[in-house]
Amino acid sequence: MNNIFESQTIQYEIPIEDLEKIKNLILNMPINDNDFSIENIKYTLRLCPSISKYGERNGQPAEYRKQIDKWVIYLWDDLREKIQKVLLFHEALEIYFVEKFGLAPGAQAHSAVLLHESNFVNQLLNEEEKIELSKLRENLK
């Protein structure tokens, strides 16, 4: 039994220099449609509206898709910039874990990112923005 629990709680350690590169890139990147790379992983950022032309929610505030030679991150364009940066950091780091550690996209890679995202949020957002991010996530459930 103990081995099953241990296998579910594996921590994946990202080299601190890679983590800092990702943080600095996201913090200094303008939030607009653009291409960028992190550790030889190619990304394309695409902004999109939160509401579709049919008046329905347009997917998630941030999500990614694998293309042939790059990862495309879709990000809602009508969120506060700091909130966008948190979401972009999360998606970019999740993709990093998929590429560098072979984690499955989705829940496995998502879980590996949470501690790093929490630290990023505490570094970047004030209390009001943290509440806004929390409400955004709560409304998606």
Residue 2 lies in a domain: no
Whole-number Å distance between alpha carbons of 68 and 79 = 29
- Give the chain's domain count: 1
CA distances (Å), 107 to each of 37, 81, 116, in order?
Answer: 23, 25, 15
**Does 106 or 47 have the greater pLDDT score?**
47
**What's the number of CA atoms in the CB half-sphere (13 Å) around residue 113?**
27
CATH number of the domain that residue 112 is part of: 3.30.2010
Whole-number Å distance between alpha carbons of 87 and 81 = 10
Residue 91 lies in a domain: yes
| Residue 68 pLDDT > 80 | yes
Per-residue model confidence as pLDDT tens digits over 93-131: 999 999 999 998 888 888 889 999 999 999 999 999 999
Residue 4 lies in a domain: no
Residue 8 lies in a domain: no
| Residue 58 pLDDT > 50 | yes
Whole-number Å distance between alpha carbons of 50 and 70 = 23
The amino acid sitting at 32 is: N
Distance of CA 25 to the CA centre of its chain: 13
Residue 7 lies in a domain: no
CB 42, CB 71: distance < 8 Å: yes
Residue 6 lies in a domain: no
The pLDDT confidence band at residue 10, using thresholds 50, 70 and 90, is low
**Does 136 or 2 have the greater pLDDT score?**
136
Residue 74 lies in a domain: yes
| Residue 108 belongs to domain spanning | 15-139
Residue 1 lies in a domain: no
